[in-house]
Each structure stands twice: as C-alpha cells, then as structure tokens.
C-alpha cells in the first residue's frame, strides 16, 4: 500500500464505473448461452439483480435497461415453484432472484403465495448459523420493503460486525462474511444501519484488512471491504482513500477490475476476463453507486497508514511462522508509538504463547535429561 494520499474520485468518475459495471455484467449474462459452463447461471443472475437494485437511481438508463432486459427473463426458473413446495426450509434461498426481481417491480403473485405458505411453516432443525440467517432476514425485509430493526439488532450482535477481527489468522471467507453482513444489514446501502461496534474502532480494523487484501492483490475483496464506508457511514480514512484509488485506477486502465487469479499483463481473452473478473467489476459498480448516494468524499490525511503497513507486515510474518520477524516488528512498533493497533495486540499475544510453548518444551527436555542421568 503506497504512502501517497490520492484525491477522491469525482461523481463523473463514479458514474462511469457504474456504467462500465452494468455493461460488463450484461456481457457476462449474454455469455451464458454463448459459453455454457463458463459461469454459474444462478449465481450470476442473482448478482446481476443486486447490481440493478443498487444502481437503479445512479445509472445511465440505457445501460441499466440493457442489463435488466438480459437478466429478468432468467430470474425465475421454470422449476422455482415446485422447489419451494418441496423444500420450505430453504424457500428464501430458493427465491433469492424472485425477491430481487419483485423489488424491481416485476412481481409474480403465484410464487409469492407459495413463498408465504412456505415461510408460515414451523421452523425445524437447529438454529441457523448467523451468516445465512442474516441473508434470510435481509430477504424477508426486502419483501416487506423495510428492515425489522429488532431482528437486525439481535442478529448483528452475533455477527462478525460486532466482534474484533482476527487480523493475523482470518480467512478470505471470514472477511467476505463481514462484507456480506454489511451488504445485507444495509440492503446495499439503501437502509440506514448503526454498526454494533464503535465506528472508529471498526474502521481501524477495516484499514488493516484493506492493506492485507491489497498485499494479496485481491481487488475483489478490497472492493467489498470498501463498501463498508459508504454503507455504514464510517469516518473516511487514508487507507480507504488509497484502496479506492487503486481499484478505480486499475478499472480505468483495463476497462474491468481484475478478479483473483487473473494476470492482466498476460493478455487474457474475453472469456478469461468474464470468467474471472465479472464479479470484481460488478461489486465495484455496487461500491460506486453507494459512494454516489453517500455524497462527496473528503480527502483523507496520511494518519493511520503506518499502522496499516505494520498490520500487513505482521500478517505476512504470522503466515510465514516467522516468529523472529514478529518480534522485530513489535520492537519497531514500540519505537514508533504504534502499540495500540489490533494486529500489534494479537501479535503480542502470539509471541506470549510461543514463549510459553518454548519454556514448556525446555522444561520437558530438562526432565527427560534428568530421568536419563538420574
């Protein structure tokens, strides 16, 4: 992550991103017939509908309509109604695209009747894990056109939004669970939501995650992390400014945002671009629309970038099991007055555990030697 603090993008730049995202997503939907097996049709159609809902007031009308016309006919599979009948426990997941399309004004009363009957069934089995339950509550609330604030307070208390983030060990999926909690809890930034954590503290953790995602060249994850700022109205930070400039610049240069696993310098053909990068480009469109709704971004100062760089270095050392480097970086943190960050606190705890382990091993070795020589 560079130290330079860029200027925030203009409204015209963000609108250009929205237009480009809609166009590439429409191309991806069109590829479902041209290149069977390239993309997952159900996943792509569901995500295209999310983009349509997120951009309906910020998009160029013609590009938005082109994507809508390509996507809407695919949104309700012929077997949707029988599947809801057979599996009422998964009715909301099965009706994902139906719910999105209905919110865009294309309703199907017959499917709604079956969905209402399925949702009236008594819940069975164990309580659902909080991540899918967040999605289910979001789908219920999209149907009723307003959030159930009591339900959201309860669910978010058990989500990763309410808890400190394990910066040294969190998986990519852990971070996506966090970004999806933001997306579902705010309905893509369309509903107001107060974070269950202190906004400044949450932003500090997100800064570190941005640095880690950029260090891994995962621009898809970087983009989803960025939408936490406009969707939760978090205080803008230098790390967020640098990360946003990175994804905007990369998109402007290539015409798409490269997804994980794609090397744009290798001259990928169009099917490779669509197969690897439609999702990154799509979520960048959702981010741009959320930023447009949030209003003008301030220019951040460089405060916090040193802490972000330190978090990235500690994550690398932890991933490499390089305890000597962890120790060196913690000494550097003390010298620089950067001892309060979560990565530093977690790395200190790691060092403490390693020290205890070494002492235990040394004690066991002494007992073995004593037993052998006694």
Please report, for the chain, the start and end positions of each structural domain, with discontinuous segments joined by +: 11-305, 320-373
pLDDT (average), residues 319-330: 96
Neighbours of 34 (CB within 10 A): 10
Contacts of 357 (CB under 8 A, 6+ apart): none
Query: 8-17, 154-163, 238-247, 353-362: lowest mean pLDDT where?
Result: 353-362
Cα 227 from Cα 189, distance rounded (Å): 8
Q: What is the DSSP string of 155-178?
A: HHHTSGGGS---TTT--HHHHHHH
Average pLDDT, integer, range 175-191: 95
Supply the mean pLDDT for the chain.
92
This prediction has a pTM of 0.93
Residue 370 has pLDDT above 70, yes or no: no
Q: pLDDT above 70 covers what percent of the chain?
A: 94
pLDDT beyond 70 at 4: no
CA distances from 103 to 50, 137, 149, 309, 355 (A): 10, 15, 20, 42, 56
Distance from C-alpha of 145 to C-alpha of 70, rounded to nearest angstrom: 25
- Give the pLDDT confidence score for residue 186 in this predicted structure: 96
* Banded pLDDT at 362 (limits 50, 70, 90): confident
- Angle in degrees, CA 335, 337, 340, rounded to 5: 130
Neighbours of 37 (CB within 10 A): 8
Residue-wise pLDDT tens digits, 104-141: 999 999 999 999 999 999 888 887 789 999 999 999 99
SS3 content of the chain, % helix, strand, coil (to 5): 70, 0, 30
Between 95 and 59, residue with greater pLDDT: 95
């Amino acid at each position: 992550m560079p130290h330079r603090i860029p200027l925030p993008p203009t409204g015209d730049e963000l609108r250009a991103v929205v237009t480009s995202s809609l166009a590439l997503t429409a191309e991806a939907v069109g590829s479902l017939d041209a290149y069977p097996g390239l993309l997952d049709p159900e996943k792509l159609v569901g995500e295209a509908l999310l983009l349509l809902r997120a951009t309906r007031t910020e998009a160029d009308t013609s590009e938005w309509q082109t994507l809508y016309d390509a996507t809407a006919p695919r949104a309700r599979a012929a077997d949707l109604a029988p599947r809801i009948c057979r599996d009422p426990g998964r009715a909301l997941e099965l009706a994902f695209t139906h719910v999105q399309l209905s919110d865009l004004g294309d309703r199907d009363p017959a499917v709604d009747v079956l969905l209402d009957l399925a949702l009236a069934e008594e819940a069975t089995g164990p309580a659902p894990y909080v991540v899918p339950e967040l999605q289910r509550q979001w789908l219920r609330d999209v149907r009723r056109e307003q959030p159930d604030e009591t339900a959201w307070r309860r669910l978010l208390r058990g989500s990763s939004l309410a808890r400190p983030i394990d910066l040294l060990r969190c998986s990519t999926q852990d971070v996506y669970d966090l970004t999806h909690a933001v997306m579902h809890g705010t309905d893509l930034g369309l509903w107001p939501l107060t974070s269950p954590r202190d906004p400044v503290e949450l932003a500090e953790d997100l800064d570190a995650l941005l640095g880690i995602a950029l260090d891994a060249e995962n621009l898809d994850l970087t983009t989803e992390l960025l939408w936490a700022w406009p969707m939760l109205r978090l205080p803008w930070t230098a790390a967020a400014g640098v990360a946003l400039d990175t994804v905007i610049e990369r998109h402007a240069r290539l015409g798409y945002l490269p997804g994980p696993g794609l090397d744009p310098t290798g001259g990928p053909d169009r099917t490779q671009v669509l197969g690897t990068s439609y999702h990154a480009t799509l979520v960048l469109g959702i981010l741009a629309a959320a930023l447009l709704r949030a209003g003008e971004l301030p220019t951040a100062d460089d405060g916090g970038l040193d802490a972000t760089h330190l978090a990235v270095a500690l994550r690398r050392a932890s991933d490499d099991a390089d305890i000597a480097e962890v120790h060196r970086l913690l000494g550097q943190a003390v010298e620089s007055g950067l001892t309060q960050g979560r990565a530093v606190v977690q790395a200190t705890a790691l060092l403490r555990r390693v020290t205890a382990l070494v002492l235990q091993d040394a004690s066991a070795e002494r007992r073995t030697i004593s037993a052998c020589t006694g």
